[in-house]
């Protein structure tokens, strides 16, 4: 068991979720000067390629939103590590490739760095603290939080998101000479928002005990909310092995909705933002089918709370940061689903000999 806040819970996943506020505060405070130096070095790049796989790919999609909002007009492109390595795009020496990787050692993350170096592009690796055997010849390394002791990554994800949103803001500063987000927000308000998310322990336990009875758990949202939906569905699969799908709200309406049944359950992510009104319309659609739903919002979703099986309100933040504020309670939801299912959320199911043999056939490293 890793060091952290005292807890009676037997699994590292829970401890990591509860330790996120302090870890993020430390990351954005202690490493701010270094992140600013990296931002200055890459702010003149022609293109930023944000590259990751699994949870880290979800991070690239969030950071794409942050770059659009805060990056001062720099062009950013989220790309899956596998596709980036095998299919392009063509790179130039004026490009910057940012690899997000929990440990910096996954096979296609390393190959993506190799490809970027071969093209002469600037390289940045965003990874955990204290990693041995980092890839050689990376131009810049941004370390975030201590390496996790659970295979269901939570704290390293929020650490990477926080550091990278700060990087986006700093890039924007160096391109426009204006700060879009005050540093006090990163150092004080953001950790407080994360801490607030950990206070929904009882609610998430109750949601999980009810949701485990469902045929399938669906999660949806728009904009950054859609990425939360995909990430939490992945955490549910990793931790409890249950049937869960996270799908963009508009994508749902273009075919996936035909797959739902009244014995399913929905988690709807609906903070204030450009996508919120469409999410409201979607809820009216699933009400007609008779599917129970629960809402995660920031106090602005009263229109759909009536009729919901449950709802919580997290603190209101600028929309890119909702990818963190709305996420944290749902990490607890995934954890409590594992407890209800009787699974071990830290092991990646490698304690099952079948899955251990499977990953020998197709290693991640």
Which residues lie closer than 8 Å to 36 by C-beta, 6 or more apart? 170
- Kindly state the helix (H) or strand (E) to which residue 194 belongs, with its residue range: helix 190-197
Which residues lie closer than 8 Å to 342 by C-beta, 6 or more apart? none
**Phi and psi, residue 303, nearest 5°:** -60, -30
pLDDT digits (tens, 9 = 90+) for 296-346: 999 999 999 999 999 999 999 999 999 999 999 999 999 999 999 999 999
Comparing CA positions, the residue from 2, 14, 110, 124 lying closest to residue 53 is 110
- Mean pLDDT in the chain? 94
Domain chopping of the chain, boundaries: 12-196, 199-341
**Partners of residue 141 on adjacent β-strands:** 125
Return the minimum-mean-pLDDT range out of 24-38, 89-103, 104-118, 187-201. 104-118
CA distance 108 to 172: 29
Residue 231: pLDDT over 90 = yes
The residue with tokens 């055997």 is 133
Q: How far apart are the first and last CA of the chain?
A: 24
CB of 173 closer than 8 Å to CB of 38: no
pLDDT digits (tens, 9 = 90+) for 184-220: 999 999 999 999 999 999 999 999 999 999 999 999 9
pLDDT digits (tens, 9 = 90+) for 43-84: 999 999 999 999 999 999 999 999 999 999 999 999 999 999
What is the arithmetic mean of pLDDT over 168-193? Answer: 97
Percent of the chain with pLDDT over 70: 95
Q: What's residue 222's pLDDT?
A: 97
Residue 229: pLDDT over 50 = yes
pLDDT band of 102, cuts 50, 70, 90: confident
Question: pLDDT: is 73 or 134 the higher one?
Answer: 73
3-class SS at 260? coil
Q: What's residue 1's pLDDT?
A: 32
CA distance 207 to 188: 29
Rounded to 5°, the CA angle 350-247-49 comes to 80
Residue 3: pLDDT over 70 = no
Percent of the chain with pLDDT over 90: 90
CA distance 272 to 300: 6
What is the arithmetic mean of pLDDT over 122-142? Answer: 85
Torsion of CA 25, 27, 31, 35, to 10 degrees: -110
Alpha helices in 307-350 (DSSP H): 319-325, 327-341
pLDDT digits (tens, 9 = 90+) for 143-164: 999 999 999 999 999 999 999 9
Write the DSSP assignment of 197-259 as a string of letters.
HTT-HHHHHHHHHHHTTSS-EEEEESTHHHHHHHHHHHHHHHHH---EEEEEHHHHTTTGGGG
Q: Which CATH number fits domain 199-341: 3.20.20.20, 3.40.630.30, 3.60.15.10, 3.40.50.10490?
A: 3.40.50.10490
Residue 7: pLDDT over 70 = no
The correct answer on CATH 3.40.50.10490 for the domain covering 12-196 is yes
CA distance 35 to 27: 10
CA distance 360 to 1: 26
Residue 4: pLDDT over 90 = no
Residue 134: pLDDT over 90 = no
pTM of whole model > 0.85?
yes
What is the arithmetic mean of pLDDT over 82-90? Answer: 94
Provide the strand spans (E) within the chain. 47-52, 75-80, 95-100, 122-129, 140-146, 217-221, 244-248, 265-269, 293-297, 310-313
Return the axis-axis angle of helices 20-30 and 32-42, rounded to nearest 10°.
60
Q: What's residue 2's pLDDT?
A: 38
Which residues lie closer than 8 Å to 96 by C-beta, 6 or more apart? 42, 45, 47, 48, 49, 121, 122, 123, 124
């Amino acid at each position: 068991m890793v060091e952290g806040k005292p807890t009676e819970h037997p699994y590292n996943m829970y401890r990591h979720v509860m330790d996120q506020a302090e870890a993020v505060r430390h990351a954005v405070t202690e490493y701010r000067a270094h992140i600013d130096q990296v931002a200055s070095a890459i702010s003149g790049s022609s293109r930023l390629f944000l590259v990751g796989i699994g949870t880290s790919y979800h991070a690239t999609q969030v950071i794409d939103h942050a770059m659009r909002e805060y990056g001062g007009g720099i062009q950013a492109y989220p790309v899956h590590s596998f596709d980036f390595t095998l299919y392009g795009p063509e790179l130039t020496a004026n490009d910057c490739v940012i690899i997000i990787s929990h440990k910096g050692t996954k096979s296609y993350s390393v190959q993506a760095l190799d490809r970027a170096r071969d093209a002469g592009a600037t390289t940045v690796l965003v990874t955990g603290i204290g990693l041995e055997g980092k890839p050689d010849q990376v131009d810049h390394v941004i370390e975030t939080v201590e390496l996790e002791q659970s295979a269901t990554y939570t704290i390293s994800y929020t650490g990477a998101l926080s550091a990278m949103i700060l990087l986006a803001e700093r890039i924007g500063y160096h391109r426009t000479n204006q700060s879009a987000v005050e540093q006090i927000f990163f150092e004080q308000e953001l950790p407080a928002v994360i801490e607030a998310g950990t206070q929904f322990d009882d609610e998430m336990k109750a949601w999980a005990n009810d949701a485990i009875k469902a045929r399938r758990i669906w999660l949806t949202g728009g904009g950054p909310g859609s990425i939360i939906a995909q990430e939490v569905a992945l955490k549910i699969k990793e931790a409890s092995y249950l049937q869960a799908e996270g799908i963009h709200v508009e994508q749902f309406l273009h075919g996936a909705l035909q797959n739902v049944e009244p014995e399913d359950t929905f988690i709807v992510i609906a903070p204030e933002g450009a996508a919120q009104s469409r999410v409201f319309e979607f809820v009216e659609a699933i009400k007609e089918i008779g599917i129970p739903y629960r809402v995660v919002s920031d106090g602005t979703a009263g229109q759909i709370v009536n009729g919901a099986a449950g709802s919580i309100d997290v603190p209101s933040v600028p929309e890119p940061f909702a990818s963190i504020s709305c996420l944290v309670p749902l990490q607890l939801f995934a954890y409590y689903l594992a407890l209800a299912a009787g699974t071990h959320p830290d092991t990646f199911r490698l304690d099952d000999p079948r899955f251990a043999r499977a990953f020998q056939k197709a290693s991640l490293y």
